[in-house]
Amino acid sequence: MKKIVLLLSIFGTASMYAAAPVVNNEDEFTEELKKQLRSQGHRDWEQIFGADWNKASKEEKIAMMEGAFANNRVRWDLLKVTESIRMLAKPKTLASLSLASLGIFAAWHATSLVKDVAKHYLLIPPLCNPSESSIRGWDSTVKDFFVYEEKKFPVRSDVVLTEHLKERFAKLSHAITNAAKNDVNFRHYLLYGPPGTGKTMMAKAIAQEAGLEHMYFSAANLEQYSLEEGVQQIRHLFEYAKSYPKKLMVIMDEADSIFAHRDTCSDKVRTFLNLILTYTGTEQSNYVVIAITNRPQDFDEAALSRFGVKIKVDAPGFEERKLMFANYAQKYFVDSHTVNRDKRSIFQWLFSRKPAERTPLKIAEDVFTDETFFDRLAKRSEGLAGREIADVISNVQHDAYGTPDHTVTQEMLLNALEDKFQDLATMKDFTKGRGRATAAA
């Protein structure tokens, strides 16, 4: 629409210049007028305009012309001719119209630009989780003034994958990169598998690899809204993604809570489902959706059809678990106390003291030097997902800080691993009890 307004303003200005005779001064103006009058059969100049024409000012001449028209001494079809001459006799009028038309376009464009800036920096969808998303709004900027929060998103090297998933990761990120670069329509993707296998981390790493900003939200959060509020939130989120100035990845976690089969879900969820299907069913090149779920078997068939690529992210194998133990040990035991604590907000620099340095942990020599130790951990941890392995290492970190010398030992790691299996067994008992209670009801 803005382009149409600009073209019309330019065309209108050009038309006015083309319609008017080229007149540069008063004499040419008079000669042009006489020429036009003679073509209409008027020979007596003074009879029409009087003897004072040459002494009259430009404004007076125009008034005399208008008087001739009013007294019908000149045929009315000359009105267009003289109006064209009149316009040219007052070139400021043309300039004013030209500037006005272009000014209207500029104001319209500026208003639209301000609206877009406000929309993308002041009105980030409430469904979006800002701490898990790379997009930033005014609230993040204000928060950074008071409390510095450095966002670090996973990259390819942070994600431990099987050889098969490494190939899928490379192909997927390459396809998304090319689609964004060439402005072609995106396909949508579904990552499924057991809890804690790194699906969300993989999605964020794909966004980083493809050079896309990402917006993360949990579909389960829609349950807190009423029907009308939920519809509004969904529309806000996808319209925001659709009009975002850059290519955007929408990461939808816990997608099974909204993509449930129509026969088993409530009317509210069914309405949400149908609305999201309208945003994922038509081809477009503005955003790509990656849905994440632990329960693909609960998906509605129409929802499954929206995802052109479905990738299973299963529990890690022996080699992957071994690498995870080594990586998390480095992260929690070595790197955690080397965090740069000089990075603080302006408010913190002015009004708070520098945070105390974290006491580094001591690590028993055989934890990293025993070449077989991580093999033993990987062998004993069969069936654990990446999140559970991270929990084991994190628990050891807490235990080590509780000892007098802050030392991590092999025994502490093996005990923490056994505790994790006991915890999983307890959770399994809870789940069985819930299943029996549901069956009895």
- Give residue-wise pLDDT tens across range 43-78: 665 566 666 666 777 667 666 766 665 555 555 444
- Give residue-wise pLDDT tens across range 233-258: 999 999 999 989 899 999 999 999 99
Tokens of 88: 């040219």
The pLDDT, as a whole number, for residue 21 is 46
Answer for the pair 387, 315: CB distance below 8 angstroms, yes or no.
no
State the pLDDT confidence band at 17, using cuts at 50, 70 and 90.
very low
**Rounded CA gap, 45 and 196, in Å?**
97
The pLDDT, as a whole number, for residue 371 is 82
Beta-carbon contacts of residue 370 (< 8 Å; ≥ 6 apart): 410
Tell whether the model's pLDDT for residue 86 goes beyond 60: no
Domains of the chain: 2-94 (no CATH), 156-312 (3.40.50.300), 318-440 (no CATH)
The pLDDT, as a whole number, for residue 359 is 81
The pLDDT, as a whole number, for residue 430 is 79
- Summarize the confidence of residues 6-32 as an average pLDDT: 52
Most confident of 44-53, 133-142, 386-395: 386-395
The residue among 325 and 145 whose pLDDT is bigger is 325
**Rounded CA gap, 192 and 200, in Å?**
10
Tell whether the model's pLDDT for residue 160 goes beyond 50: yes
- Summarize the confidence of residues 182-194 as an average pLDDT: 93
State the pLDDT confidence band at 397, using cuts at 50, 70 and 90.
very high
Tell whether the model's pLDDT for residue 363 goes beyond 50: yes
**Rounded CA gap, 262 and 218, in Å?**
20
Answer for the pair 299, 293: CB distance below 8 angstroms, yes or no.
yes
Closest CA to 329 of 274, 396, 266: 396
Q: Which long-range contacts (CB under 8 A, 24 or more apart) does 136-140 make?
A: none
Closest CA to 132 of 104, 108, 152: 152
- Summarize the confidence of residues 341-351 as an average pLDDT: 54
Q: Which residues of 182-216 are buried (b: 16+ CB within 10 A; e: fewer)?
A: eeeebbbbbbbbeebbbbbbbbbbbbbbbebbbbb
The residue among 61 and 205 whose pLDDT is bigger is 205
The pLDDT, as a whole number, for residue 230 is 93
Question: DSSP states of 118-133 as a string?
Answer: HHHHH---TTS-GGG-
**Rounded CA gap, 70 and 66, in Å?**
6
* Residue whose entry in the numeric block shows the structure tokens 């819930």: 434
Average pLDDT, the chain: 77
What are the E-state strand segments in 294-402?
Answer: 309-312, 362-363
In eight-state DSSP terms, residue 282 is S
- Give residue-wise pLDDT tens across range 419-435: 999 999 988 887 675 54
The pLDDT, as a whole number, for residue 22 is 45
